[in-house]
Amino acid sequence: MAVARYDAVADDYAAGSADVDRVMLELLDLVEPVHGQRVLDLACGHGRVARELARRGATVTGLDLSEALLDKAIAMNRVHPLGITYVHGDASANVELPDQSFDAVVCNFGLSDIDDLDGALGTVHRVLRRDGGFGFAILHPCFAGGATVSGAWPTDGSYHDEGYWVADGAASLLRRRVGANHRTLSTYVNTLGRHGLGITAIREPAPPAEWAADERRAAAGFPVFLVVRCRNESTDGTS
């Protein structure tokens, strides 16, 4: 199984993130309606997206590699029961989820944490029903960071330098600890296409207004986030 980097930061990560944020709302808006749908939250972490999906009436399964984060999600589900099923597993490997068992899959800022993008999108394709939707949000891969906040790729590299890296920006917090995988936009688009996941909508939401006055941020005139909706266009359950 791949390395669960978030196990080491689970306490801080779960404590430091709001249950609902604006980019997550953009993502959920793209995959609506979810009421009565079977939805997989891929790379669910401590379950904040899964909980919001369940509140909106979806039957939710959360999948994550980090056992420490899943423990927090399960504990929250005991305190505030929403009927969410959590699965510990590697999305890019042969995870035990039935073929074509979901109407939709969402992944909120998780794809850059997964080393094997091809394997993960193969799983998305396999578990989605025909015409099912896949929505994901990531940091925009096309733009560098600000003076003290690392962007999509290493400060001593370039856009075309794909691979795992660890942020070095002084104001970068999570990515200094768990790193990220940088991929070009063409890599994302072409890998989606190989797995029959056709793009149907793209949004590039603006960063918070206060970022515009902060030169440390990666916001000066450029999009920071990328939110994408796809449709499973395959005629069967294989890539």
Q: What is the pTM of this model?
A: 0.90
- Domain 5-141+185-232 part of CATH 1.10.760.10: no
How do 197-203 and 225-232 pair as beta strands? antiparallel
**Model confidence over 177-201: pLDDT tens digits?**
788 899 999 999 999 999 999 999 9
Q: In whole angstroms, what separates CA 132 from the centre of its chain?
A: 17
How is residue 106 annotated by DSSP?
A: E
**Does residue 67 surpass a pLDDT of 90?**
yes
Can you give the pLDDT at residue 236? 56
Does 49 score more than 90 pLDDT?
A: yes
Average pLDDT, the chain: 87
Pairing of strands 225-232, 128-139: antiparallel
Domain range summary for the chain, segments of one domain joined by +: 5-141+185-232
Type of residue at 10: A
Amino acid at 89: G
- Phi, psi for residue 213 in degrees, rounded to 5: -95, 0
One-letter amino acid of 79? V
* pLDDT score of 8: 81
DSSP category for residue 141: T
Q: Strand 163-165 and strand 59-64: pairing? A: unpaired
pLDDT per residue over 128-165, tens digit each? 999 999 999 998 998 876 655 667 777 778 899 999 98
Q: Sorting pLDDT into bands at 50, 70 and 90, what band is 172?
A: low
* Band of residue 16 on the pLDDT scale cut at 50, 70, 90: low
Count other C-beta atoms under 10 Å from residue 188's C-beta: 20
| pLDDT tens digits, one per residue of 68-127 | 999 999 999 999 999 999 999 999 997 889 999 999 999 999 999 999 999 999 999 999
Rounded to an integer, the average pLDDT of 27-32 is 95
Residue with tokens 């080393």: 115
